[in-house]
Structure 1
């Protein structure tokens, strides 16, 4: 995501993957990978939770503290240093930016910040957070209704797949009807990928993540790109259902990377990379190249991700077992999961 953003922010619209395939940029592949893996992990987490309340609490602890700190740093530190507006503290848009910490409100601009850049958005990564949180809630709804099983998720997969392939939701249709709301087209697509990962988690069989599955789904992904060169409409119908299988089974081939679990930089990179890249673009007066932007932004982003993990995220996650759990629901989640 950081690499592909370097191309769009440094005024070179297409990254190498987009130039090669003419179908989608590397950032889309990365986001799709994230939603597939998230569905797999979050479904497993929901199965382990003693109550629905504890599941919600743990998800909030994972997302909101680090997000709130990011918003505070952006408004009270980065904003004053980077703005070209004399009315930064008098503009209602300044404090309104803090609403980003609520997940479901996206305020993309700060007065005078990055206004001279090609893209004046302060943090263009945050728009997917509401999509992710909504996927959590849909999964929780399935568990509460007793439908969190292979049959229930198969129905969800089929429904979201048909809605996407037949383009039932037009581009630009916004849920909740405001500029920071969720675009239904993307929400449905992300939910399809998320449900695909969750479905694999519910299968719970070694064959689902075996070498043959990795090879077969990898070949189908390549077929999707090949067919997409003939007609772009051939790409998504093949790519979307097999991408979660390929990503998750491939992850099982890379088990040695699990040693890095003591330092999870992924969320910190997601939060801080975009504004850091924007700052370098502004300081260079838009003369920086994509390669140089990546080279400069990556180490600084890793520093902020490191600090975010050890000073905010990890302490917040330690509260998972320290807070009293809400009362158990009348029907335990395990009942639904066993069906």
Structure 2
């Protein structure tokens, strides 16, 4: 039985802070934190989404209930940041004598649907050149949400479905850049398009699903998972590269990734729970890059301004956008699994 009291919320918050710090310092101060890159937020989010979202689906009373819960967790805050970003872009361009703004409605629709990776050329000179580049993971997450009922159905019909899908995804992840790197459309390779879908990252989600489904087998051993810090530290000193041992950034090697998420599971379920009154992980994630871009174009490029403004807006988003939306969700397996599952 999965513990209702756990540290999943605070882990997600720390992962969002990791992403924010890395991006803010890199884009504003040109500072690169190698040690933070060894605990990347995005792969861990994908793993946790596999764990939490599959649990949410299994405990939902219907497909409608499941999709409703996913929509309420993701889209209200996403709509808020999208509208605010569109207004900011429009007035900035008009104030600078740029009136070719017909792209903004299409960009807005893309940001609120499945086109978060869409970045028109008109935005190349705005800030870092990509207004909210972190949101490519939202596309991956939404597609995973859609895929979960299909995966669950196939798992009941075909034994070993999760393992088959996981291996296929990992093979594309590992060899796609070499064998699928040919130009496909709009100047992008086929792998570029696949990399904003769970086809590439699905093995990380699936490892989370397997962890959830086999939790009853590993639960008594989780207290020993702290030992995974030993190889993690060893990788930190010795380095690692390739699809097996890479220990920095989003494209982690599979062996390093297993040790990494094992330590996350340990922190989640073997450490005394630290309750949180508010959940800022999602809002920190989706707001930090628009703030960075805004400060850059306003010549206020200060990392502490960026993080402070992001925090203030995130608090507003939680209390006035996200929390009211979450009250509309149906109760689920447990608080953390029912109320989480975003990027």
Question: Which band: TM-score by shorter chain?
Answer: 0.7 to 0.9
Residue in 2 that maps onto 1:314: 323
* Partner residue in 1 for 2:14: none
Equivalent position to 1:184, from 191, 194, 206: 194
- TM-score when normalising by structure 1: 0.76
SS for the counterpart of 1:50 is coil
Asked if 1:2 is matched to 2:20, the reply is yes
**Is the counterpart of residue 280 in structure 1 residue 291 in structure 2?**
no
Does the CA contact (< 8 Å) of 1:221 and 1:238 recur in 2? no
Are 1:202 and 2:213 an aligned pair? yes
Of 160-169 and 241-250, deviating more is: 160-169
The 3-state SS of whatever aligns with 1:126 is helix
C-alpha spacing 1:102/1:77, structure 2 compared with 1 (3 Å)? same
1:233: Cα distance to partner? 5.3
Q: Give unpaired runs (5+ residues) of structure 2.
A: 1-18, 246-252, 332-343
- Distance, in Å, in 2 between the alignment partners of 1:76 and 1:68 is 12
1:43 pairs with 2:54: yes
CA distance in 2, matches of 1:176, 1:316: 38
Once structures 1 and 2 are overlaid, which stretch shifts more, 220-229 or 232-241? 220-229
- In 1, Cα distance between the equivalents of 2:72 and 2:187? 27
User: Cα distance, 1:173 vs. partner?
Assistant: 6.9
Q: Deviations over 1:175-220 (max 9, x none)?
A: 99797996324644421111111111111227346121231x3334
Q: Tell me, yes or no, if structure 1 residue 52 matches structure 2 residue 63.
A: yes
CA contact (8 A) 2:38 2:236 kept: no
**Partner SS for 1:121:** coil
Q: What are structure 1's unaligned runs of at least 5 residues?
A: 323-339
Are 2:224 and 1:212 aligned?
A: yes
Q: Please state how far the C-alpha of 1:67 moved relative to its aligned partner.
A: 0.8
* Residues 196, 245 of structure 1: 8 Å contact kept: no
**In 2, Cα distance between the equivalents of 1:50 and 1:243?**
33
RMSD of the TM alignment (CA)? 3.4
Distance 2:183 2:160 in 1: 30
Residue of structure 2 equivalent to 1:239: 256
* 1:55 Cα deviation from its structure 2 partner: 0.8
